[in-house]
Amino acid sequence: KAGVTQTPRYLIKTRGQQVTLSCSPISGHRSVSWYQQTPGQGLQFLFEYFSETQRNKGNFPGRFSGRQFSNSRSEMNVSTLELGDSALYLCASNFEGGNGYTFGSGTRLTVV
């Protein structure tokens, strides 16, 4: 059974650009959530999608957005990148009522 797949694994962008990250959940999982991990702030919740609808949202500016498709795959977009957006972005999927979230290996974003 394939795990959660995130692409790309690594990304370097310039300040002011935008970026789109992709997440393919485990087959059958309809919930997808996104997290930002930095050394200073730890793991912070960005948003959660279920059946193509954003169900919950963390405390991030509007530059951070996401969406979920009918096949449960999800994308996260960050516009007008700032140096402080450099982080590991993690995606996790969950089968409602199941045990916890399964995480992907993340996308390491570096903004220069």
Q: Which residue ranges make up the site for other proteins (CB under 8 A)?
A: 4, 33, 35, 42-45, 48, 55-58, 90, 92, 99-106
Minimum CB separation of residue 24 from other proteins in Å reads: 14
Which residue is associated with the tokens 């969406």? 67
Which of 16/98 has CB closer to other proteins? 98
Which of 64/101 has CB closer to other proteins? 101
Q: Report whether 29 contacts 95 (CB < 8 A).
A: yes
Minimum CB separation of residue 91 from other proteins in Å reads: 8
Which of 44/65 has CB closer to other proteins? 44
Minimum CB separation of residue 13 from other proteins in Å reads: 20
Reported residue count of the chain is 112
Alpha-helical (H) ranges within the chain are none
CA atoms within 13 A on the CB side of 109: 29
Helices (H) and strands (E) in the chain, counts: 0, 11
Task: Please enumerate in sequence order all residues whose Cβ is within 8 A of that of 1, keeping only pairs 6 or more positions apart, or say none.
Answer: 26, 27
Which of 10/70 has CB closer to other proteins? 10
Minimum CB separation of residue 70 from other proteins in Å reads: 23
